[in-house]
Amino acid sequence: MKEMNTLIGKNQAYLENLSEQYQREALSTLFYGTQSDLFKPEEQEKLNGIHDAYVTELEKYQNGDQEAGLTLQEFYELTQETAQAYYDSSGIMQAKKDAEIDHLAAIRENTAGLESAFYSFEESQEASKGMGAVALGSDPVQRGLSMAESTWKSILGGKSSAPGFASGLDRVPYDNYPALLHEGERVLTAREARAEDQGDAPGGIHITITGNNFQGTAEDMADQIASILSEKLQLARRAG
């Protein structure tokens, strides 16, 4: 990098010196009519023409013509612009511009290739997202089902059917236990389940039988209690 930076600095200095040389030799032709090998024959001829016109206006200015002085300034600026134009059209600058054009063309081609690759990547990403949405589910419910499915595949040796519990499940054996639920089923929290087990579930049916005398055999008394319980359960069900 150090060597390359040195090279770049030398190239820049060389081009700046060359530009200044074009200016110096063009102005030398303007003021003194000198000839230079730096310019092409047709370029030198044009500079010679400006010099001849400059000499004429210079004589007028020396004789007190201020307007000729304005013309001398115009010739001076014209010579500078002409020198810059000759420098820009010189062989070395044309080669530099051609290299820059080739470089820009290469960048455009590379950019087009990168854009194509980028869009292909984007398409593959979108396709991947689409497949992921099918496989994992783009919503939490679908994603949960797919995770459960994957878990049960590993548990059941590759089978892809996670069990449902339409007949109920007494207790969830561990955290993140996968299951397929069905419409109308109910899932309780651990706290609610404990409360229900203890008979303290909110909204549960509490039946208290008091003020009754049961007579007969144990079987007769059981039938009487069952009849009373049935009536109370039916009343509770109707009450919602």
Predicted TM-score (pTM) of this structure: 0.44
Number of CB atoms found within 10 A of residue 54's CB:
21
Neighbouring-strand partners of residue 164? 180
Task: Please say if the pLDDT value at position 183 is more than 90.
Answer: no
pLDDT at 23 over 50: yes
Give the pLDDT band of residue 119 (cuts 50, 70, 90).
low
pLDDT of residue 141: 52
**Residue 164: phi, psi to the nearest 5?**
-105, 170
Residue 223 has a pLDDT of: 82
Distances in Å between the Cα of 113 and the Cα atoms of 74, 106, 119, 192 are: 51, 10, 10, 62
User: What are the sequence ranges of the domains in the chain?
Assistant: 2-89, 140-204, 205-240
Average confidence score pLDDT of the chain: 79
Structure token digits, residue 211: 């003020």
What pLDDT does 136 receive? Answer: 45
